Structure 1
């Protein structure tokens, strides 16, 4: 399998982890989901992320999901989230998934990091633990991790470690961070791939600021594919038109606490997975929320009809 690098572009969908109604891994739905994402135009997948319920899996289950996803991906790149409280666990899972053919691993900073020096030291230790031959995605998601990483600190880390080839950009507000990173590259710092998250809520603007694509899990990945493609073609107004058609559902999915339930409900409705179940703790949508989502989908379909 091809490894990710500092020039990697496109849409890497953050995959959900499918479970049966009783909380067991649903292997059939893993296959169906992988096919669904690629059928909608994804360039690759990222599994075991924060919206993939990774902390609810055992180490053996994480390896099982990775093996199944890579096998079904038929050579397309799969990035695996390996974040954990300790470096030993990160190192063990990384070795296992890279041996299975992963394209790279994603590591978020632990929430106890408070100073720039601590952040810099942490990623130095990560690279020392994994080895310089493993491509790493640095996940910058302060809304969840509570770790604030400045562009200066990111630049220091990127310059120090060539194996950190990609930034998963999820700062909010964070558009200026993309601009500053690209300006630093124009002045001579090495290039780093930037793929953006936050369910794509700022994707058109992120692309105009210089992002290389999306790494998030909105249940209509074709929206992200269209926005990235049109942006790369310089058709920014058309990209916004496509984005606007999906915006109400993107907005609804941003609600803290129920965002994953919304995403899984829609994916199940679209046939990508058999069940919208989350592994406990984690609840589904109530009747009122389901009715709201159904209304948003119906209205979205009406808007999309104008593009057909």
Structure 2
């Protein structure tokens, strides 16, 4: 069984392939998982924001999670599934079910609908952590949720629950992470936000990155260079990537669509359809994507 300290490295969020009619494309999903399992990543997470989780129905989530767990079994890639329910009771049931069905870890998006109190949010986090014994990546994404959690509140979670891991993606996250790790030095921290702050977060004590999944190989190369002590080479490659992801991360729906289009252009999924409401790419965006794929030889 995985421990919280085992969760490190490059852990992308799985994209969600659809047909051109907006139905789930399970064949493309399976093909994408097969590709990612050989890309050098350490883990993969389903139902993150990049998975378009609010646009899926309950039956689709059940089928997708079963396929995700089955296809990646024995791959050496740890399989995490995100619990996104706004009800504490439902989130606890969902967490237990994912653990029972074989998830190696969970990710937890704290509730934000109708602005629950800080006490209610902590109760939700604590309840889910107490419902399971596999690692739980507690997600902090205030830009997307409108919810602020202080480093001290997060440190309280880390102190009470050794199997908690923390995905910190406030913007910028580095000072927040340093303050958090000062209060909870034993905690494991990952960073999302397309890896914009990947190297700064590793320098601050972070353990890994959780970007989208369409060009995971680039993040793997950066991480490997960092791990091998080749920090200048890691910095050089990250600087090369930065202008692209800085532009695409100006809106979540923008980078979700871009990543889907990259997956489609690479032949990994059949279409780049995103369920509505979404983001419409311009012709300039599509030319940029072609240039990106060529630049990084994807």
TM-score by length of 1: 0.88
**Residue 138 of structure 2 aligns with which residue?**
138
- Name structure 1 gaps, 5 residues minimum: none
**Residue 255 of structure 2 aligns with which residue?**
259
Specify whether residues 20 and 154 from structure 1 end up closer, same or farther in structure 2 by C-alpha distance, changes over 3 A only. same
Give the Cα–Cα distance (whole angstroms) in 2 for the partners of residues 201 and 180 of structure 1: 19
1:270 and 2:266 correspond: yes
Alpha carbons 2:3, 2:134 under 8 Å: kept: no
Alpha carbons 2:12, 2:216 under 8 Å: kept: yes
Deviation, structure 1 residue 287: 2.7
Deviation, structure 1 residue 252: 2.8
**Residue 39 of structure 1 aligns with which residue?**
38
Q: How many residues align?
A: 294
Q: Secondary structure at the match of 2:133?
A: coil
- Name structure 2 gaps, 5 residues minimum: none
Alpha carbons 1:141, 1:170 under 8 Å: kept: yes
Give the Cα–Cα distance (whole angstroms) in 1 for the partners of residues 12 and 288 of structure 2: 25
Alignment of 1:97-246 (within 5 A): 97-111=98-112, 112-113=114-115, 116-128=118-130, 131-163=131-163, 165-186=164-185, 191-246=186-241
1:65-122: CA deviation from partner (whole Å, max 9, x where unpaired): 1111111113331110111121233233323322221112111122244654343233
Q: Secondary structure at the match of 1:78?
A: strand
**Residue 53 of structure 1 aligns with which residue?**
52
Measured on the aligned residues, the alpha-carbon RMSD in Å equals 2.1
Give the Cα–Cα distance (whole angstroms) in 1 for the partners of residues 134 and 8 of structure 2: 18
**Residue 82 of structure 1 aligns with which residue?**
83
Alpha carbons 1:46, 1:81 under 8 Å: kept: yes
Deviation, structure 1 residue 201: 0.9
Give the Cα–Cα distance (whole angstroms) in 2 for the partners of residues 247 and 297 of structure 1: 14
Deviation, structure 1 residue 277: 0.7
Deviation, structure 1 residue 300: 4.4
1:257-295: CA deviation from partner (whole Å, max 9, x where unpaired): 321111100011112211111123324423332123223
Q: Higher mean Cα deviation, 146-155 or 131-140?
A: 131-140
Specify whether residues 6 and 46 from structure 1 end up closer, same or farther in structure 2 by C-alpha distance, changes over 3 A only. same
Deviation, structure 1 residue 136: 1.5
Deviation, structure 1 residue 132: 4.1
Q: Secondary structure at the match of 2:268?
A: coil
Give the Cα–Cα distance (whole angstroms) in 2 for the partners of residues 87 and 254 of structure 1: 30
Give the Cα–Cα distance (whole angstroms) in 2 for the partners of residues 61 and 114 of structure 1: 28
Give the Cα–Cα distance (whole angstroms) in 1 for the partners of residues 93 and 24 of structure 2: 21
Deviation, structure 1 residue 239: 0.4
**Residue 292 of structure 1 aligns with which residue?**
288
Deviation, structure 1 residue 137: 1.2
Deviation, structure 1 residue 7: 4.0
1:91 and 2:87 correspond: no
Alpha carbons 1:13, 1:46 under 8 Å: kept: yes
Q: Higher mean Cα deviation, 86-95 or 140-149?
A: 86-95
Give the Cα–Cα distance (whole angstroms) in 2 for the partners of residues 42 and 5 of structure 1: 17
TM-score by length of 2: 0.90
Specify whether residues 59 and 92 from structure 1 end up closer, same or farther in structure 2 by C-alpha distance, changes over 3 A only. farther
